[in-house]
Amino acid sequence: MSAVVIVGAQWGDEGKGKIVDIYTEFAEVVVRYAGGPNAGHTLVVGSEKLVVRLLPSGILRKATFCVLGQGMVVDPTVLVGEIDEVKRRGHGDIEKRLLLSDRAHLILPYHIDIDTLRETSAPKDKAIGTTKKGIGPAYEDKVRRTGVRAGELRNLSRLVGRVEMALQAWAPTIAALGGTLPKAADIVSALEPLAARLVPLLGNASQVTDDAIRQKKRVMLEGAQGTLLDVDHGTYPFVTSSSAVAGGAAIGAGIGPNRIDTVLGITKAYATRVGSGPFPTELDDELGQHLRNVGDEYGSVTRRPRRCGWLDLPGLKYAARVNGIDGLALTKLDVLTGMPKIKVCVAYDTPSGRVDDLPIDLLEDGEKVTPVYEELDGWTESLDSCRVLDQLPPTARQYVRYIEERSGVPLYLVSVGPSRDATIVLHNPFVGRAAAP
């Protein structure tokens, strides 16, 4: 069997879409196991750019079967719209190779309303910085057992009562935020045409995924966001509402942890973060703006500008530990081209002394932690034509090896541009060493 988990090793936006798309040339099944439409994965194929938010990144591979797992929260309107957009672009009848877990929870209009009301009414220094897509409230419904699962779209008459129960639980919150309580019947009525599209896609994602692994098919398990946004292991409370680490793959896909063979972590050659929360290596200056402009660091879904900064090695080693990362994919190395010097955070000075682990519980109080940097030489040569490691400029190659050695994790891939072929593949977790796609 061969099951590979892809996880973000930073604050999300590491370029997972491209990396998953590259490796899905060899995968037969791709399973998205967590998150919702707040996670935009950008795929670039030739001159075409496509952002998928709910669909697994393998959707453009015509031989790949794609699964939306039970750990996800799914907005039916967004999913149907995304399916139609992919089909409009000429990628065929993708419904034939798409399965939606009947246990995945639905994001309904009141979740989006509550998310928006909370975020817009909170004091600026207390706002989490959510995308207002209803992710958090949908997960809240899930854990308090008032959520609506995709399988309930099979019986809309019974669904009215389920939605009514959820609305009554939310009524005090909606009233306190100054919102208006919608009618359950109106919500279910709007779901009717969406249900007609989605019910044929419903199935047992856990069984399908486990069967594929037992049949020795190559399975890719695709995460969303990043380790430092994980609800348990991230910079709480400035985190997402789901499990973004590799352990969440077993839960969200419905398989045993012993089914997973390899964990691949994705990290940028620098660091970014969207929304509020601690970011100790942030560059709030012209250099940070330069990284943002050259790297097109704007949210693929929201177009919000991402905060940019130097690579955080303690954070990367932290991600390697909590995920059990076997190999790293390094993205956006090309964005650093032209910088005479590159800094890397290698430790933190704290009230208890210098530490080389991420002091995650101290980060919210930025005055208590100070990043310690090492400086490396940059390069000016273009990386556009580099397809093997030896083609990189010597100082770029030195930077790549520095990250590998200091993180303690071998590099599997180096990305030198947004397109599929702008890639140096050192190791393929499905087949061993492979040439770049």
Cβ 47 vs Cβ 89: under 8 Å: no
- Kindly name the residue from 21, 41, 111, 230 that is annotated as catalytic: 41
Cβ 249 vs Cβ 5: under 8 Å: yes
Q: Which of 98, 67, 412, 429 is nearest to 255 (CA)?
A: 67
Q: Which of 210, 181, 222, 262 is nearest to 31 (CA)?
A: 222
Q: Which of 35, 9, 409, 408 is nearest to 228 (CA)?
A: 9
Note if 232 is an active site residue.
no
Joined together, the tokens standing for residue 210 give 């486990």
Note if 186 is an active site residue.
no
- Kindly name the residue from 13, 21, 113, 230 that is annotated as catalytic: 13
Cβ 330 vs Cβ 403: under 8 Å: yes
Other CB atoms within 10 Å distance of the CB of residue 171? 12
Query: What residues act catalytically?
Result: 13, 41
